[in-house]
Amino acid sequence: MVFTAKFYIGYSDINKDYNLTNTSLLKLFENVASMHSHVAKDDINESEGRWFLTGYHVKITKRPQYGETVTIKTWSRDMKGVQASREFEVYNEKNELCLTGLSNWIRINAKTLRLERISPELYEAYGSETERTNFNYSWIEKLKESEKTDYEKEFHIERNFIDANKHMNNVYYLDLATNILPEEVYQAGELNEFIIMYKSAIKYDETVNCGFATEDDGYRITIKSQDKSDLKAVIKMIK
């Protein structure tokens, strides 16, 4: 089952070049996935199950711009045990495919906070499109943290980062990565391919340590607890 929705690119969604930002793009993905869950009668008002992101891989070929209405298509690519993969496509007003995304999720019961196997009813409701894909795999390869960093910076997590699941929303991990970029890298513009691996939830009032590393094909940002004992996320920005 392919679910389709339209979204207007407004002022809060764009950067200095009037292009859709990477963080705003993830917000669109989050919203359209929630809309699909509602159609499947599996949203947070109807189910004790919750989908928690474990990874994103996004490739952008043409950025939507301010004032455009984009069409987003999403579908369940695969479901297995407690895991699911979902893909996205974004089309501009000329019906050009602008970007693709692959996401991985795990299923958790909101009351027990334990992993929950995907039921036969959910398999049927989401109707996985196993042959429809822009990627050669369903499951994103795990990113390793940097062996060394160019520099580090700490961030304190305030209330505006926290979502309905009482932890930092997945979008803001990318915000942290953007905020640690060197000024010359930031001013050069957002990269059009990135991978995010989510490892551990970040809670309100935490202080996290972000490490920045330059690599041959891009940049790697590692987010850890303040004492560096708990890996929170690894983000790879690809040139």
Q: What is the pLDDT of residue 63?
A: 96
Residues 6 or more apart whose Cβ sits within 8 Å of residue 77:
85, 86, 87, 102, 128, 129, 130, 132, 133, 138
Nearest CA to 1 out of 132, 122, 126, 103 is that of 126
> Would you give the distance in Å from CA 144 to the centre of its chain?
17
CA separation for the pair 55, 142 (Å, rounded) = 8
CA separation for the pair 181, 187 (Å, rounded) = 9
Q: Work out the burial of residue 35: count CB atoms within 10 Å of its CB; fewer than 13 is exposed, 13-18 middle, 19 or more buried.
A: middle
Q: What is the pLDDT of residue 45?
A: 86
DSSP string, 185-216: HHHT---SEEEEEE-S---TT-EEEEEEEEET
Kindly list the distances between the CA atom of residue 71 and the CA atoms of 11, 62, 120, in Å, as whole numbers in the listed order. Answer: 18, 14, 30
Over residues 138-144, mean pLDDT: 95
196, β-bridge pairs? 56, 235
pTM (2 decimals)? 0.95
Q: What is the pLDDT of residue 165?
A: 86
Q: What is the pLDDT of residues 39-63, one digit of tens each?
A: 999 988 888 899 999 999 999 999 9
| Mean pLDDT estimate for the chain | 96
Q: What is the pLDDT of residues 163-184, one digit of tens each?
A: 988 999 999 999 999 999 999 9
The two tokens of residue 39 are: 């159609």
pLDDT at 190 over 90: yes
